[in-house]
A and B are shown apart, each in its own frame.
Chain A
Amino acid sequence: MPLLALEAIRPCWSEPGCYAVLQQGQVLVASHEAIRCGVRCGMRTGGVSAIAPATVMLDRNIDKESLAQDAIAMALLQFTPEVVHAPDCCIVLDVSASLTLFGGPHALCRLITTSVQRLGFTVQLGAAPTATGAWLLARRWREKSRLLRRRTLTMKTLTRLLNRLPCNILPEALVHAEWLTGIGVDTLGDIRKLPRAGLLRRTDRHLLEQLDRAYGQIPELFEWISIPATFSARMETFDRIEHADALMFGATRLILQLTGWLVSLHKAVNAFELLLEHERGRCAIAPTVIEIGLAEPAWHEPHLLRLLQERLARLELIAPVIAIRLEVRKLTAMLPPTTSLFPEPGGTPADWNRLLELLIARIGKDGVLTPACVHDYRPEVCNSWVPVADQINKKNDDGLIVERPFWILAKPIALLMRDERPFYGSPLILVRGPERIEAGWWDAQTTARDYFVAQDANASCYWIFLERSREPCWYLHGLYA
């Protein structure tokens, strides 16, 4: 990540402009626009303001950088468990075991690049059979009139590429830069041509070891980053955010981290929470909690993101958001993919559950309903629908089955009377009935009705009743669809 110092403060999707990050009064990193204006690394503040007065100078924020690097490492855990931080804002991954799973080196490189870019960082990817070699290639800068190649799979090409690299790319060689230039050594290949014993006497052991590691002559040992047992990621937003949609970038970053963490532990998430932190201090407001429960444990990043997006789209912020935090509430072990040879027609139950989650996320729990089996004679009680999310898988026992109209009105409509007949658009003729329903003395909804089937002049059928407990009156309660 060559621009990590800058992008920890300003992510790569923010508006382009001249920016430079300073460390101890010297330019550490500058944006592409600033470099085009003439700003170079190592310049002093005065020089920058003389060459490109429009450049905005920012101070380096080491805390944010290390947080960002941790976030990237966490997200990259989904490709391999062997991830380690390297000097100069680099991350080294050992992907030799993951190549087949992700469809070869090219596909894997593309996946890694996209996922780092979605986190908001520019990435330079180097690939080589040795970790140090890959690290050196990744840090190589573009030179004029020279084909830039940072990836190789064979030792032979790596040796050729490394031989051409300038000496000062190796931090150990930078110490002896003056001496090396003095004897006319420019590239790593030139150093290797020197007699080994003399080189060891005049420089130090570390330079030789590092070179040997890069060329694959001695083994490399790394202490891979340890995966935390619990997941809780927090991110400060770059500004006070007043629109829930604008939180999607931050949420994407947290979800990517979550995916990396879940995959590395072989776990799937059942429930998680997104906390939106508001004002702190004197006028502190408690954070808004978005709770997302999943019917089926998931670890797929697109699905989690869709759910979050639908929820965020419905959310109304009570106050500007300054930070977001993602916390995992419930975990289960990841299930292996199904081993059946043919896909099931009409999708798998997992697909169906995913659809239900998506619908619930947008419409709400009370909008996705399924019939509940309640044995009661009163049509209002009998015809109860419960949210799918609450439904306990009950066996559908066939109790009593009576003929009923397909449509029921949520609230019965009182009918007008004309010529002693109920009237609804046209006079209603009673066709069948009465069916007496008297029930509910045990609770407050006592019902005493005589139900009839009535037909109007159009020949459509209605289910009407005569109320018996109060003033006798006709009501429309159902339609025969």
Chain B
Amino acid sequence: MLSIQQHGGLTAQAAVSAAIPEFQGVWRANQMAVCRTATCSTGFDSIDAELPGSGWPRSALIELLLQQSGIGEMQLLKPVLTRLSATQKVVLVQPPYLPQAMACKSWGIHTENLLWIKTAGAADALWATEQILKNGCGGAVILWQTNVRNEALRRLHLAAQATDTWLWLMRPLAARMDSSPAQLRIALRPAAGGISLKIVKRRGPLSGQRLFIPLATMPASPHPSEQQNAPVVVRARAVAGTRSDTSLLV
């Protein structure tokens, strides 16, 4: 009886340190949070490794903080949108420019499931987003906003939690210092041949390093210096100057 107790005492310390990671309710600060909602892989392994649940979380507000529009943010979402649009609706709310249906088609997004909501003001855009989330029919909603108040963010976050929809909110990079209820916040900056991203907030330890994601469809020159030296503009102007309007269309 005694010997058994002693044996138990000796191995206790080792047992505790080995057993803690297996407890469901214990979270260590250097661990990634357990994602309870479904996730959808981003399509890029290096991002997946950095995200809890290794993918974009569903039913949560995801903020993408852009240095400017048109730096490859849609290509970052391309794999997930392609997958979702096959069966579900993808809604773009108040995009900054006109979305190009041909680009979507060339990426493999099913354009018949694409919906563009063009609103006059931010209030209408937020209202429309909330209605789509409440309805629960949309597979993914992408909302562009420049100035969002914290109340609106919290409202979106609550609405997102109640549905099975992916929600991305595109905001300017300047908003990264403001607090936000979003579960995941990623800052995006342009980079040659891809996009550079930094996770501002996630459910897990702080992420220090910047990630470079090469985007295959991003047109980038392999040797920028070569192109820089070519006097393309002068040549093009000369060509254009010699042509007349009438001969142009023959």
Contacts and interface: CB of A to CB of B under 8 A. Distances in A.
Interface of A: 345-348, 351-352, 354-355, 358-359, 362-363, 366-373, 379, 382-383, 385, 388, 396, 398, 401-410, 420-422, 429-432, 434, 438, 441, 446, 448, 450, 452-453, 455, 458-462, 466-470, 472, 474, 478-481
Nearest to B221: A431
Contacts of B192: 455, 459
A420 B228 CA distance: 12
Contact of B117 (A367, A379, A406): A367
B97 A352 contact: no
B137 interface: yes
Nearest to B134: A355
A403 B131 CA distance: 33
A342 to B, nearest CB: 15
Interface secondary structure of B, over-half rule: mixed
Interface of B: 67-75, 87-89, 95-106, 110-112, 114-120, 124, 127-128, 131-132, 135-139, 164, 190-193, 217-221, 224, 227-228, 230-234, 236-237, 240-241, 243, 245, 248-249
A420 B111 contact: no
Contacts of B231: 420
Given A347-B135, A354-B135, A466-B236, A459 B116 contact: no
B117 A368 contact: yes
24 contacts: A351-B135, A355-B132, A358-B131, A362-B124, A363-B120, A363-B128, A368-B118, A370-B112, A370-B115, A372-B101, A373-B111, A383-B98, A385-B116, A398-B105, A406-B104, A407-B100, A420-B231, A430-B227, A430-B232, A446-B249, A459-B193, A461-B72, A480-B72, A480-B218
A460 B67 CA distance: 10
Contacts of A366: 118
B98 A407 contact: yes
Nearest to B73: A481
A422 B234 CA distance: 11
Contacts of B103: 403-406
Contacts of B97: 407-410, 479
B190 A458 contact: yes
B128 A383 contact: no
Given A402-B106, A405-B103, A431 B117 contact: no
Contacts of B88: 346
Contacts of B111: 371, 373, 396
A262 B135 CA distance: 25
Nearest to A385: B116
Contacts of A372: 101
A460 B68 contact: yes
A152 B101 CA distance: 65
B240 A369 contact: no
Nearest to A440: B249
B102 A420 contact: no
A461 B127 CA distance: 33
B135 A459 contact: no
B203 to A, nearest CB: 26
Contact of A420 (B131, B136, B193, B234): B234
A461 B119 contact: no
B67 to A, nearest CB: 8
A292 B236 CA distance: 55
A472 B237 contact: yes
B116 A370 contact: yes
A469 B247 CA distance: 10
Contacts of B67: 458
A383 B101 contact: yes
Residue among A406, A422, A438, A460 facing the most chain B CB atoms (10 A cut-off): A406
A345 B234 CA distance: 58
A227 to B, nearest CB: 33
Contacts of A385: 98, 101, 116
B233 A355 contact: no
Contact of B220 (A398, A459, A467): A459
Given A362-B124, A370-B114, 6 more contacts: A346-B139, A355-B132, A359-B132, A450-B236, A460-B71, A462-B70
Contacts of A420: 231, 233-234, 237
Ranked 10 nearest A-B pairs via Cβ: A479-B70, A371-B101, A347-B137, A472-B240, A407-B97, A460-B190, A459-B192, A481-B74, A352-B137, A355-B135
Nearest to A478: B100
A468 B100 CA distance: 23
B236 A481 contact: no
A438 B249 contact: yes
Given A370-B115, A401-B106, A481-B75, A359 B236 contact: no
Contacts of A402: 102, 106
